[in-house]
Amino acid sequence: MAVSDRAKWNRAAGAYDSLAARAAERRWADFKRRAFRRMRGRVLFLAAGTGLDFQFFPAGRTIAALDISERMLRRARRRARDYSGAIELHQMDVGSLAFRDRSFDQTYTSCTFCSVSDPGRGLAEILRVLRPGGRLRMFEHTASALAPLNLMLHACTAVTRTFGPAMNRPTLASARRAGFQILRVRNYYLDVLKTIEARRPVE
């Protein structure tokens, strides 16, 4: 599964910035800046892609950023160097993180769980590497709670899956199922683009 994910995103890497990501980054710049402003402690950032999101990180943080595609990461390297803090890049699958248990204070995602093939496994891995009480903050496209909108999202996904993301994932329910305690959900576009704030329960 991860191999086909890697192949898909390696293929997408060449045109990703110009075709898919740059306009979306412009559209949601203010909202992403707001979503990332509370980065503290040891931070994990998932699915970094070509590093377009690095410009929205608050200055001076130490962040481990990963992506499954080596071609995406090659493009991310320059942006990581330009960041006024430290970004370590790792080529890694979200579904099998090579980090110790409880090694991060916070995990951030940006349009990640519309793109990984096994969201449940990825969320379980995040839960494992977060310390108890640690925060998961997600900026994600998800399925809608409204049936007519969901029908449209299924139709859109039939197209978007061929080159990248799925727009109909029940990410909020998946995070709950994985064991996260949901603290806050904020919609940015309909109930389809949202931030989800969750935490690993304190044992």
Tell me which residues touch other proteins (CB under 8 A): 18-21, 23-24, 26-31, 141, 149, 152-153, 155-156, 159-160, 165, 167, 182-194
Give the separation between CA 175 and CA 75, rounded to whole angstroms: 30
CB of 27 to other proteins, least distance (A): 4
CB of 28 to other proteins, least distance (A): 7
Q: Would you say 92 or 109 has its CB closer to other proteins?
A: 109
CB of 147 to other proteins, least distance (A): 13
CA-based nearest residue to 67, from 89, 100, 36, 40: 89
Q: Would you say 94 or 198 has its CB closer to other proteins?
A: 198
Q: Which two tokens stand for residue 62?
A: 């130490």
CB of 20 to other proteins, least distance (A): 5
- φ, ψ for residue 172, nearest 5 deg: -65, -45
Q: At what angle do helices 2-15 and 70-82 cross, to 10 degrees?
A: 60
SS3 4: helix
Q: Would you say 108 or 188 has its CB closer to other proteins?
A: 188
Q: Which two tokens stand for residue 9?
A: 């995103």
Q: Which two tokens stand for residue 137?
A: 């903050």
CB atoms within 10 A of CB 22: 13
Q: Would you say 70 or 189 has its CB closer to other proteins?
A: 189
